[in-house]
Amino acid sequence: MPRFIIHHVTKYTYPEPVRDSANQIMLYPIKDEYQELQSQRIFISGEPFLEVFKDYYGNEVGTFMHTAPHTELRIDSTISVVTKPKNLPADDRETEVQWSHLDDIKYQLPYLDFLKQENFKDLDEVKKIADNHHFRTLTVFTAVKELSKYVYNNFKYIKGITTVETTLDEIWDLKAGVCQDFAHILLVMLRLLGIPARYVSGYVCPHDSNLRGEGATHAWVEAYIPFYGWMGIDPTNNCVVNDLHVRLAIGRNFSDCSPVRGTYKGTAKQTLEVGVSVSHEDGLVAQKEADILTPLVVNESLANNTEGSNSYRRYMEMMQQQ
């Protein structure tokens, strides 16, 4: 059972004071039999009152308002979390029985939300790959792994080529992106087959391994496996999720799980620094503390100079998940 200490820092600086900064954070790890939160410390500059509630999907969400004029906003979360291994599906049920079970539950909650398909111009092209006739001859577990492998092999991992505003059609045309793009394409494919699938936001904590996605929040997918439950699958790294992934939130897509979002009044020009460091129980640090913050200068073409409107929320979401 590995124990991780994860330090996640988001810092905005502004050339002149801004005010009325209203924000939402989803930085609280999921607590269940496979993930134990030992401690969490959240510091927010200005020390505003932080109200925490649970959303429709059971995620903890924090909201705060920083009304006073300020030239810096820093959101600093440090967690100590223990992850526990989860047995893989036994995969010993007959294939037809598994697919029949999925057909039986497709109109039931909580599966209904995770079968809803997003608008996608190239859906017919994707259907040719996620072919029912082929994959329904496999067990659901095997079908999920094969589709994850397809995304991993056919999409290039390139940072900065997409944003959260990039559409599924654009991702499909580019055949490239980062973890959130890999996850969204896999969601489409699984849902086409009638497999409930949900988006997961969190961290990947490599330990003597070379996993993509460290140094920022990560994203992957959970697929519903008949007679087993939800199983995490990471198409960015082509692996079944186990105790090297720490879950923050689940939802239908990225918009349900954004780690930080908000808005403020003032200048649209800002500089963002964001980073994640992971320390393992044995003292191994995946990213040095001194190097945690990486400056990211906001492109002015993203900014809107109208009072009360700016690129904070949009750009924050762009850079959070890599």
Looking at residue 22, its amino acid is A
- CA 187/CA 233 separation, integer angstroms: 11
Please tell me the predicted confidence (pLDDT) of residue 314: 47
- CA 253/CA 278 separation, integer angstroms: 25
> What is the Cα gyration radius of the chain?
20
Pick the closest to residue 226 from 132, 99, 96, 130 (CA basis).
99
- Tens digits of residue pLDDT in 198-249: 999 999 987 666 788 876 789 999 999 999 999 999 999 999 999 999 999 9
**pTM for the structure as a whole:** 0.88
Please tell me the predicted confidence (pLDDT) of residue 46: 92
Please tell me the predicted confidence (pLDDT) of residue 158: 93
Report in angstroms the alpha-carbon separations of 99 from 102, 140, 191, 221, 300. 5, 7, 13, 19, 50
Please tell me the predicted confidence (pLDDT) of residue 300: 32
Please tell me the predicted confidence (pLDDT) of residue 120: 85
Please tell me the predicted confidence (pLDDT) of residue 86: 93
Pick the closest to residue 275 from 262, 288, 256, 257 (CA basis).
288
**Across residues 1-8, what is the average pLDDT?**
92
In sequence order, which residues have a C-beta less than 8 Å from that of residue 46 and are 6 or more positions away?
66, 68, 70, 73
% of residues, the chain, pLDDT over 70: 86
More confident residue, 293 or 260: 260
- CA 40/CA 63 separation, integer angstroms: 16
**Across residues 4-18, what is the average pLDDT?**
93
Looking at residue 250, its amino acid is I
More confident residue, 318 or 255: 255
> Which domains are present in the chain?
3-83+257-320 (2.60.40.2250), 95-256 (3.10.620.30)
Please tell me the predicted confidence (pLDDT) of residue 208: 61
295: pLDDT confidence band, cut at 50, 70 and 90? low
- CA 265/CA 17 separation, integer angstroms: 9
